[in-house]
Amino acid sequence: MDEESLKISLIHNNGDFDEFSGDLPAIEGWRGLLKASLEESKKLWYLAGPAIFTSLCRYSLGVITQAFAGHIGNLELAAVSIENSVIAGFSMGIMIGMASALETLCGQAFGAKQLGMLGVYTQRSWVILMTTALLLSSIYVWATPILKLVGQDDEIAELAGKFAVWMIPQLFAYASVFPLARFLQAQSKVLVMAMVAGGALIVHAVFSWLVIFKWGCGLWGAALMLNISWWIVVFSQLAYVLSGSCKEAWGGFSWAAFHNLGAFIRLSLASGVMLCLELWYLYILILLAGYLKNPSISVDAISICMNLMGWETMVALGFNIAISVRVSNELGAGHPRAARFAVINVLGTMFAIGAILMAVILITRNDFAVAFTNSDEVMKAVSNLATLLAITMLLNSIQPVLGGVAVGAGWQALVAYINIACYYMFGVPLGCLLGYYFDFGVKGIWAGMICGTTFQTIILCIITFRTKWKKEASQAIERIKVWGGHN
């Protein structure tokens, strides 16, 4: 009997297992701890470094477009911010969330040496996400009346709705690129993703400046270049996969992609709900700011803070991806202690990064807004929000990593319930109470929502540190069989 068969046999007979070759050995003394931490850090940074760069480059595509729009005018900045954060953010949340089912399945299948299933899983995700994109396109078409219905300023809603229609191609790029990304990440092929994202960002920055300012195409030109840049990422990654660079994991297009979609859809929906509830939470800040006095200034100030939070979130997302891959690979391979140690290591790393970013925001509170606007009024409003932004930076360094642990272990449904309770039953109502009833404005809304994030982070920390990792490893092998379907 080979090692993999022995693992499965022990799991079925005992419901657990003690130790297998390759799991983390017992750590003795501080020197042993330091050595083990350095080894784990190398593995995490090998995955996280390129993933952070990739995430920053992709996020910066929208930020560059937003910054250029801000130098056209305050109305244009508000419109692009609403589309980018609310309409595209809503859709991106669904797409990233549903694609994150692949982080669980591809990661655990890779750890269990079932490489042939990775390509089939990816194609199933394409089928599901392309169908979802087709349904979501109606939101883009009806963006103006939707924004007006929820109380947005008429001028902002009109321009944001027009920009949203122009951005429909980006929606289908999301549906294509996110499953591809998970397919490559599960195999630790992150360097090629970084190179593609960096090239797309350079093209986007140069040609956006030419199209918007030199050739006078304005907002329409901004939308055109943002669409083109996202599709450059899609076709470049697809070309890499089809070139034979992933021949063990990619066996070509297969009708197996349409088999057993029901189980795959259930996991995709659980993943989508979990991540959407997280991504939409802070986007609600922009929506709620639109109900305040002088909404253009409020929306502009919040959107600038959101851009900075977005960059920091991309750093956390890199570690989210890294820890998701590490946990899913180790659990799929039957290494519970290694999975647990990876979690502890990444949390310590991200706390240190969050503390540094918090300090940088507080030191530069009166200066960083100049990159996004020429308005003294907007810069003053941003400076007033700097303390809340700094606190959010610290929390957001930890929370996405805990989400990555959840995805790697397959806890999406549980985290979705936690998010509903902490964010939408506690944080948002508290923010509205402080912002509107007690008249603290944007600060009150944001402070209440920070309380919701804090509550959620504490609960996830408790769950993570009380987890029985041996049990999770046994469930990982079962999950490959139950959720994977047939190859």
3-class SS string, 47-99 = HHHHHHHHHHHHHHHHHHHHHHHHCCCHHHHHHHHHHHHHHHHHHHHHHHHHH
279 in Cβ contact with 88 (< 8 Å) = no
Contact call for residues 107 and 122 (beta carbons, < 8 A): no
pLDDT attached to residue 478: 66
At residue 256 the predicted structure's pLDDT band, cuts being 50, 70 and 90, is low
Sign of CA dihedral 379, 384, 388, 390: positive
93 closest CA partner among 355, 227, 273: 273
pLDDT tens per residue, range 334-379: 787 888 888 888 888 889 999 999 999 999 988 888 877 778 888 8
The average confidence (pLDDT) of the chain is 80
pLDDT of residue 18: 43
Confidence of residue 124 (pLDDT cuts 50, 70, 90): confident
Q: How far apart are the first and last CA of the chain?
A: 23
The residue with greater pLDDT, 82 or 286, is: 82
54-65 per-position pLDDT tens digit: 888 888 888 888
Q: Which of 137, 97, 127, 46 is nearest to 325 (CA)?
A: 46
Please determine, for residue 48, whether its predicted confidence score (pLDDT) is greater than 70: yes
Please give the pLDDT value at position 167: 92
pLDDT computed for residue 7 by the predictor: 40
9-13, 75-79, 102-106, 372-376: segment of lowest average pLDDT: 9-13
pLDDT at residue number 137: 94
Token output for 39: 């080894």
Tokens of 453: 């994030």
Mean pLDDT within 456-482 = 75
Q: Do 430 and 451 contact (CB within 8 A), yes or no?
A: yes
For the ranges 32-41, 205-214, 328-337, the lowest mean pLDDT is seen at 328-337
For residue 134, what pLDDT is reported? 94
The CA distance from 239 to 169, in Å, is: 19
* 260-281 per-position pLDDT tens digit: 677 677 777 777 777 777 767 7
Sign (positive or negative) of CA dihedral 339, 183, 241, 192: negative
What pLDDT score was predicted for residue 350?
87
Half-sphere exposure of 304 (CA within 13 A, CB side): 32
Average pLDDT over residues 161-167: 91
Q: Does 98 have pLDDT greater than 60? A: yes
CA distance 407 to 97: 10
